[in-house]
Structure 1
Amino acid sequence: MGGGELMAQVLEFKLPDLGEGLTEAEIVRWLVAVGDVVAIDQPVVEVETAKAMVEVPCPYGGVVTARFGEEGTELPVGAPLLTVAVGAVDSAGITDGGSGTDAPSSAAQAADGTGRPAAPGSSEAAESSGNVLVGYGTGAPAARRRRLRPVPAATAPAAVATVPAAAAAAPVAAASQDGPVAVISPLVRRLARENDLDLRRLTGSGPDGLILRADVERALRTPAPAEPAPARPVAPAAPAKGERVPLRGVRGAVADKLSRSRREIPDATCWVDADATELMAARAAMNAAGAPKISLLALLARICTSALRIHPELNSTVDMEAREIVRLPEVHLGFAAQTERGLVVPVVKDAHTRSAESLTEEFARLTQTARQGALTPADLTGGTFTLNNYGVFGVDGSTPIINHPEAAMLGVGRIVPKPWVHQGELAVRHVVQLSLTFDHRVCDGGTAGGFLRYVADCVEQPAVLLRTL
């Protein structure tokens, strides 16, 4: 090498632990391409987990030399995401070879968008094989790309990493006939089992031949080879009809949670009609005072937190292994929010300590974040009780499924003018149906009815809240 040059390291960045027990994520959109310059902590890929869509920042600054996985591919935590050439330029500086173009390095040119190097024996592979990349300053601006110089690996320090062999190898068979099948997640096994698909027939396209969900879905879309005709004619099987929509991301997580709730929680529902005229009048009076507006959802949340203080049985969870009911000291209130990506349940932390004004602000913030698809896993977990305002969909009542592992959910229907007996006379009042679905393991119908009756009393006479302030 010329004097003054410093060798670069090719560092591998793996899918980090995203917290909350998440074990995999789907690549939604790459934010960088092979050959791009990235800065430290720059987002490089957008992934969707079972809880939210997040951008993943890279801890290294340098040049992207390979990417692992196409958009739509699921990767487990710890799997390689990309490699970055990190190093320093020589004192004389590295030029663009007189071309003035933004050409990527030979190694970058030899890799495609999925991080697979060029085929063995090609000129690109020969140029990059056994080399590491040098000549890239970590502080170089993204607008200035420089051609990288290959350096023999024998001269590189021990800390220098190369592109993993798993990325360079062609997909291999999933497993032998007798050995275990290498599958990226239990969800993939279940998808194959539910569709009577033999995983041993598949060739995995993931790292080290792992079978990805995309491999299973591809196999399900591909017709099986025709079998020899039987000796006796049989009626042809009717082809499967209808569109198949994979349960993945947020939709898949919702499906799993609701199925688990139905499977594990013996739920029951009670409901009552309430005259919400006074509550609507109280809200109008609050909002006429010139202060920040108070939402109806915030008032209902304030009523819920007060009711849970009186009936703590419903702010709990069940530990079946220990055979214990765990009553929780804080109220972390979940609420249903409809987005383009489906229904999500953000959580207002410590709702029992918040005023109606604070609750209004937090509901608005979380709803806006949900619609932008930017909720974090922390925003979607830790709930102890859920408030579901399905009245916004124009329906009066519902029997919702409990948000596992919580013990109860309050449903609120639409508020509509109806004939109502008020003070002994027939009048038109604003009426709402309230429903409570609860885990029958944590309480009986008397406790659930007492909770719901208190909520209805506060809706009909908001002054009842003053007794618990």
Structure 2
Amino acid sequence: MAQVLEFRLPDLGEGLTEAEIVRWLVEVGDVVAVDQPVVEVETAKAMVDVPCPYAGVVTARFGEEGSELPVGAPLITVAVGAAAPGASTADSGGSAGGSGNVLVGYGTSEAPARRRRVRPTPAVPAAANGRSIAAEAVEEQDDGRRAQTAGRADESGATVVDGPVPVISPLVRRLARENGLDLKELTGSGPDGLILRADVEYALRAAAVQTRPAPVPAATPATAPATTAGGTRVPLKGVRGAVADKLSRSRTEIPDATCWVDADATELMRARAAMNAAGAPKISLLALLARICTAALARFPELNSTVDMAAREIVRLDAVHLGFAAQTERGLVVPVVKDAHARDTEALSAEFARLTEAARTGTLTPAELTGGTFTLNNYGVFGVDGSTPIINHPEAAMLGVGRIVPKPWVHEGELAVRQVVQLSLTFDHRVCDGGTAGGFLRYVADCVEQPAVLLRTL
């Protein structure tokens, strides 16, 4: 006898309490393996796949694409108890087997290269041709028993159906449901009146001859903009909603100030070109700026801190977890390079590349988007010279870097064309005064203008 287990939206960690369904990866009737991703969801932190801890046949899905579900809400139900080719249902404490996995994006085994879908043979039951497909086996066992008891004879000898109509597989039941076909009105051509797919398809063709069904309009996703009188309303949810909340909180709670300076980046660009000409892995400009930041924070640790207003304390942090702003199709995200202070320039460059690709594809984990202590914002990629960044709450500062462009510059007493960049530092005035912030920014500018200054801290 098959056992139907309910899989609920697991605890997402990081204080997250809900997620939006972006895309279903399975359909009702599909066979799933242990830890196979079944749905793609977007939280306030990232886009992640949710793996199912059970192996069996999907019997129901809960929630449409674009809708939000709270943690603990049902996601799918899975019928387990009949083995499918390549699937396992190991026993665990007397219940149906599963991985025990309840964390988003983490599993105990690799997902299969492609999912297996129930494909019933219209005229021949699955057992008759030697195939062992879980969905058909599960449904036939249950429907076979129901077929013997569901019908009762009335006074005229006709059979009146009292319970669920026996069908060969969930796929057939879904086909009928999606086309508005009442299975109780059909006479099955299979053993003991079992309704086959061929029976449903024949009934649908017959109905199509009599009338052409009107097209069903597609449902509007919950995240789509809604046009109203005088404008358009766009829901603030998912990543964009989380960013809006954090920025609003930053402006409300943090008394910030900004200082900026122009710097001659010509020597820094030459140093980078020399590094990349050596044949070793390429060094990104962002990695060089990050290395400068960690050196500056070692000199001015006040800016690598957070404010605990409840305790009325400034908490200076030992490790530098460096966030960097990345623009994606889903909006602005801030991946975090953990322990940036302990990485050399090559390691920083590799980690920036990995996290940037993950941001682009929407595969960043919540852990990769949280825990930052200082943020580097390279808004120069948008072609602008300067900005006054909003601090990424609860951090204490953010360094902004504008575009590097040729400009007239006095170099060694003469006017010359040099590669100039504007640097800006927005800082929490509660953690330091302007002297500390200015000292930090001046040291960063000195390293940009004379990269050899960094040798003092290497």
- Fold shared per TM-score above 0.5: yes
Matches within 5 A, 1:155-170: none
Q: Whole-Å Cα distance in 2 between the matches of residues 25 and 258 of structure 1?
A: 20
The match for 1:79 is 73
Note if contact 1:66-1:108 (Cα within 8 Å) is conserved in structure 2.
Answer: no
In structure 2, do the counterparts of structure 1 residues 125 and 62 end up closer, same or farther at CA, with 3 Å as the change threshold?
Answer: farther
The match for 2:24 is 30
1:70 aligns with 2:64: yes
Shift in Å at residue 285 of structure 1?
A: 1.2
The match for 1:155 is none
Q: Whole-Å Cα distance in 1 between the matches of residues 277 and 82 of structure 2?
A: 63
Alpha-carbon displacement from aligned partner over 1:265-314 (angstroms, at most 9, x marks no partner): 11100000001111111111111111111111111000000000000000
The match for 1:338 is 327
Q: Whole-Å Cα distance in 2 between the matches of residues 254 and 125 of structure 1?
A: 54
The match for 1:9 is 3
Shift in Å at residue 88 of structure 1?
A: 3.2
The match for 1:405 is 394
**Which residue identity does 1:29 align to in structure 2?**
R
Alpha-carbon displacement from aligned partner over 1:115-156 (angstroms, at most 9, x marks no partner): xxxxxxxx9993189xxx9xxxxxxxxxxxxx9xxxxxxxxx
In structure 2, do the counterparts of structure 1 residues 107 and 263 end up closer, same or farther at CA, with 3 Å as the change threshold?
Answer: farther
Note if contact 1:35-1:108 (Cα within 8 Å) is conserved in structure 2.
Answer: no
Shift in Å at residue 36 of structure 1?
A: 1.0
**Which residue identity does 1:76 align to in structure 2?**
P
Shift in Å at residue 251 of structure 1?
A: 0.9
In structure 2, do the counterparts of structure 1 residues 108 and 432 end up closer, same or farther at CA, with 3 Å as the change threshold?
Answer: farther
Q: Among 3, 14, 19, which residue is 1:20 paired with?
A: 14
The match for 2:418 is 429
Shift in Å at residue 338 of structure 1?
A: 1.3
**Which residue identity does 1:126 align to in structure 2?**
G
Alpha-carbon displacement from aligned partner over 1:376-433 (angstroms, at most 9, x marks no partner): 1011111000000001111000001001111000000011111111111111111100
Q: Whole-Å Cα distance in 2 between the matches of residues 436 and 366 of structure 1?
A: 24
**Which residue identity does 1:291 align to in structure 2?**
A
Q: Whole-Å Cα distance in 1 between the matches of residues 259 and 80 of structure 2?
A: 62
In structure 2, do the counterparts of structure 1 residues 125 and 283 end up closer, same or farther at CA, with 3 Å as the change threshold?
Answer: farther
Gaps of 5+ in 1: 1-6, 110-122, 134-146, 148-212, 223-238
1:56 aligns with 2:93: no
Q: Among 350, 357, 360, which residue is 2:346 paired with?
A: 357
In structure 2, do the counterparts of structure 1 residues 86 and 107 end up closer, same or farther at CA, with 3 Å as the change threshold?
Answer: closer
1:289 aligns with 2:274: no
Q: Among 19, 36, 42, which residue is 1:42 paired with?
A: 36
**Which residue identity does 1:46 align to in structure 2?**
E
Q: Among 267, 275, 292, which residue is 1:278 paired with?
A: 267
Q: Whole-Å Cα distance in 1 between the matches of residues 437 and 138 of structure 2?
A: 66
Shift in Å at residue 55 of structure 1?
A: 0.6
Q: Whole-Å Cα distance in 1 between the matches of residues 301 and 267 of structure 2?
A: 27
In structure 2, do the counterparts of structure 1 residues 124 and 385 end up closer, same or farther at CA, with 3 Å as the change threshold?
Answer: farther
Q: Whole-Å Cα distance in 1 between the matches of residues 268 and 226 of structure 2?
A: 55
Say how many residue pairs are matched.
347
Alpha-carbon displacement from aligned partner over 1:235-286 (angstroms, at most 9, x marks no partner): xxxx731111111111111111111111111110000000111111111111
The match for 1:442 is 431
CA-based RMSD: 2.9
Shift in Å at residue 103 of structure 1?
A: 11
Q: Whole-Å Cα distance in 2 between the matches of residues 326 and 128 of structure 1?
A: 66
Q: Among 121, 126, 136, which residue is 2:163 paired with?
A: 126
1:366 aligns with 2:355: yes
Shift in Å at residue 342 of structure 1?
A: 1.2
1:99 aligns with 2:124: yes
**Which residue identity does 1:70 align to in structure 2?**
E
Note if contact 1:38-1:62 (Cα within 8 Å) is conserved in structure 2.
Answer: yes
**Which residue identity does 1:37 align to in structure 2?**
V
Partner-residue secondary structure (3-state), 1:289: coil
Gaps of 5+ in 2: 85-119, 127-132, 141-159, 171-189, 191-220
Q: Whole-Å Cα distance in 2 between the matches of residues 221 and 43 of structure 1?
A: 31
Note if contact 1:25-1:49 (Cα within 8 Å) is conserved in structure 2.
Answer: yes
Partner-residue secondary structure (3-state), 1:451: helix
Note if contact 1:52-1:373 (Cα within 8 Å) is conserved in structure 2.
Answer: yes
Q: Among 441, 445, 449, which residue is 1:452 paired with?
A: 441
In structure 2, do the counterparts of structure 1 residues 304 and 97 end up closer, same or farther at CA, with 3 Å as the change threshold?
Answer: same
Segments ≥4 residues shifted beyond 3 Å: 95-109
The match for 1:306 is 295
Partner-residue secondary structure (3-state), 2:281: coil
Q: Whole-Å Cα distance in 2 between the matches of residues 317 and 361 of structure 1?
A: 28
In structure 2, do the counterparts of structure 1 residues 86 and 106 end up closer, same or farther at CA, with 3 Å as the change threshold?
Answer: closer
Alpha-carbon displacement from aligned partner over 1:350-400 (angstroms, at most 9, x marks no partner): 000111111111111110111011111011111000000001111000001
In structure 2, do the counterparts of structure 1 residues 462 and 103 end up closer, same or farther at CA, with 3 Å as the change threshold?
Answer: closer
The match for 1:386 is 375
**Which residue identity does 2:9 align to in structure 1?**
L
Q: Whole-Å Cα distance in 2 between the matches of residues 378 and 311 of structure 1?
A: 27
Partner-residue secondary structure (3-state), 2:375: strand
Partner-residue secondary structure (3-state), 1:308: helix
Note if contact 1:35-1:103 (Cα within 8 Å) is conserved in structure 2.
Answer: no
Shift in Å at residue 467 of structure 1?
A: 1.2
- TM-score between the two structures when normalised by the length of structure 1: 0.69
- TM-score between the two structures when normalised by the length of structure 2: 0.71
